[in-house]
Amino acid sequence: MNDLLDALKLVTFPIHKEGYKFIFIFAIATAILALLSNFLGLIGIVATLWCIFFFRDPERVVPLEDNAIISPADGVITRVEYGAEAPEELGYGKQKFNKVSIFLNVFNVHVNRVPVSGKVEKVVYQPGKFLSANADDASIENERNSVVVKTANGTEIIFVQVAGLVARRIVSDLKTGQDVIAGQRYGIIRFGSRADLYFPENVEIKSLLGQTMVGGETIIAKIN
């Protein structure tokens, strides 16, 4: 019996709380479709399994390196830009940052993690469009939620959840004044999205264009 339980642990994974209602809806729809035909029921089962897979929330091993900034999301780095401006609503004006964008497809884990330890200085939600998350203008046009965390040495790190073409709902649990630890879960973006990070000059980017990121594990930059 214990061997069976151990085996199940290897093939199962935690589900993010935001996924339960969607899984329930998919399951009910599957039951209705199955009454109509076996084929439709099979499609419903596949869709329900995909929904469960989408909302998976696996454990991650957070690196303990000093001054490391870790990836807030799974996905692929699609853009590295030097001299970029932060989202207008954060109030940084024309101040320049180095920016890294991570694209999440519908098969990536969509649970987001805090990239660096510190105190939350700002949390700003901005309604917007739903352009493709790969579009150059997605960072300034799309729905987004921006967070600024100040580290113990005073460095401000900006990380932004950006909705995509399919994603229509950004969830963030962070509040201004909250103390956070690198790697902790803080939110999720539903069904395809993008994560942007903005670094000041004293942060060195340690990742490359096209590199695959593992949220909560891959070191994306370091504070000098």
Residue 216: closest CA among 107, 110, 60, 101: 60
34 contact partners, CB below 8 Å, separation of at least 6: 40, 41, 44
- Residue 152: both structure tokens together: 């113990």
- Among left, alpha and beta (phi > 0; psi -120 to 50; other), residue 93 is left
Cα torsion at 65, 116, 110, 18 (round to 10°)?
A: 120
Number of H helices, E strands in the chain: 4, 14
What's the rounded Cα separation, in Å, for the pair 122 and 59?
A: 27
Annotation says 193 is catalytic: yes
Catalytically annotated residue among 101, 139, 146, 193: 193
The number of residues in the chain equals 224
Residue 134: closest CA among 168, 98, 165, 110: 165
What phi and psi values does residue 106 have, to the nearest 5 degrees?
Answer: -70, -10
Catalytic residue annotation:
193
